[in-house]
Amino acid sequence: MKDKRHVMIGSLVIMAILLLLPLQQMLAMDEPEYLIFEGQSDSWKVVIEVRQSKRNLNRYVVSERHELNYSGEPIEGEVRDYPVEWRIQSVLSSKKSSSMVSHFSEFLGTAEGGTTMETNASSKVADVDDVFQVDIVWNEGMNEQVTLTCVAWE
């Protein structure tokens, strides 16, 4: 009787292991979980960090942190009084997303953690081949476009 119980328990353990192994593979992401995109124009350097993970079979959690650093000529006086407006086209952006506006500063962007989204669309995760675009309007109508490519990933 005890032998049958041991055989049954052993069989259940083996079946559980065999069932759980494919589940781990299904939950693993094909894309990297951490990516850094960078680009630079005449006046701005832009960095976007993307963190993403697979929550279950068809659900992803994606977060972005945006960083815009002014790298142009030193600016004095009234130019600092004009707002800087930027629109980011990336994993989390959409046609409906509005521009972000801030007073001029050498650094603009989001705090640690950035913007987070949970999605069931695998097309909304980043890959190393993606190209992001940032449009920056500043200094009363100066317009710069920055193209970002992936420079590092894990």
* Predicted confidence (pLDDT) per residue in 66-103, tens digit: 888 888 888 777 767 778 888 888 887 766 665 777 77
Task: Provide the mean pLDDT of the chain.
Answer: 80
Examine the domain organization and report whether 44 and 100 are in the same domain.
Answer: yes
Segment (H or E) for 96: none
Look at residue 56 and tell me whether its pLDDT is greater than 80: no
What does the pLDDT average to over 31-57? 90
pLDDT at 41: 94
The whole-number pLDDT of residue 19 equals: 62
- Judge if 6 and 63 occupy the same domain: no
Residue with tokens 């046609």: 95
CB atoms within 10 A of CB 11: 10
Q: Kindly state whether residues 66 and 91 are assigned to the same domain.
A: yes
Q: Which residues contact 57 (CB under 8 A, 6 or more apart)?
A: 26, 27
Contacts of 77 (CB under 8 A, 6+ apart): none
Q: Which range (7-11, 134-138, 149-153) has the least confidence? A: 7-11
Judge whether residue 115 has pLDDT over 80. Answer: no
Kindly report whether the global pTM for this prediction surpasses the value 0.85.
no
Q: Which domain holds residue 135?
A: 31-153
Instruction: Find the mean pLDDT for residues 13-25.
Output: 61
Q: Average pLDDT of 21-45?
A: 79
Q: Is the pLDDT of residue 48 over 80?
A: yes
CA-closest candidate to residue 109, choices 13, 14, 44, 31? 44
pLDDT of residue 61: 85
Instruction: Return the pLDDT at 40.
Output: 96
Q: Ramachandran region of residue 70, left (φ > 0), alpha (ψ -120 to 50) or beta? A: beta
Domain total in the chain: 2
Q: How many CB atoms lie within 10 A of CB 135?
A: 14
Do 24 and 57 share a structural domain? no
